[in-house]
Amino acid sequence: MGIVFKQSFSNLVITYIGFAIGAVNTLFLYARFLSDTYYGLVGVILATSAILMPVMALGVPNTLIKFYSSYKDERSKDSFLFLMLLLPMVLIVPLGLFSYVANEAIGAFIGQKNAIVEDYVWHIFLIAIAMAYFEVFYSWSRIHMRSVFGNFMKEIFGRCLIFLLLFAVYLDYISVITFMHALVGVYLLRTLIMKLYAFSLRRPKVNVRFPSNLSSLLTYSLLIILGGSTAVVLLEVDKFMINQFVEIEKVAYYTVAVFIAT
């Protein structure tokens, strides 16, 4: 019980600190150091990536937590974990190929009202992948009873890097365009560090033998996609829709207003 209380309290403190840093970024730094256009662009990129994330994750984070404890021997655990690492690729690979082939068409669709978004299709795709695999590795650490570091990476690490990048823009160390590229780097770096930590808890072993309850795993994962996608879409689709119908600057104003209300 001591471990549960200690990790719960640590996660509570981390969440509040992350919220405070996020408030500074959202209400002050973004609003003052970026133009309304680029602040709105950041909102569109992150919202669209968040919408894609549950689809790309293919329900794996929840499936990891749901089924891991049901495997009793090490071989079956290795088989299960190896499958969980590969499963998101079932959708990521074809979506990546589609994005490559239809890049201009996708850009034209999401940029039909605001042309600036057209050049950031790959930013959206890469951040969505990073978000999806971060959740996989975070769940990997949680099933091994280690949640604090993952919560720190999720709530504080990325926001601190963005905090520093925004000041770098303000001090003219980097351009706004460089900031947009670095934003992708922040999410990829966060995922890489989370992966290294997760694998330090239990290193995956190649095991191409499927678990005996494969059909149950896939069914549960697909149902989680539906549930998870609905929850995320309800939270993020508004910013995506604003971009489709009105000037992108309105996304920046809306982001600030929603954060204050929240």
Distance CA 60, CA 57 (A): 6
Q: How far is CA 207 from CA 76, 139, 231, in A?
A: 9, 20, 33
Closest CA to 195 of 204, 208, 207: 204
The pTM score is 0.93
In tens digits, what is the pLDDT along the chain, a chain of 262 residues? Answer: 577 778 888 889 999 999 999 999 999 999 999 999 999 999 999 999 999 998 899 889 999 999 988 888 888 888 889 989 999 998 899 999 998 888 889 888 888 888 899 999 999 999 999 999 999 999 999 998 888 999 999 999 999 999 999 999 999 999 999 999 999 999 999 999 999 999 999 998 887 777 778 888 888 988 888 776 777 777 788 888 888 898 999 999 998 888 888 7
Assess contact for 54 and 133: CB atoms under 8 A.
Answer: no
In the chain, domain spans: 2-261
**204: Cα within 13 Å, side-chain hemisphere:** 18
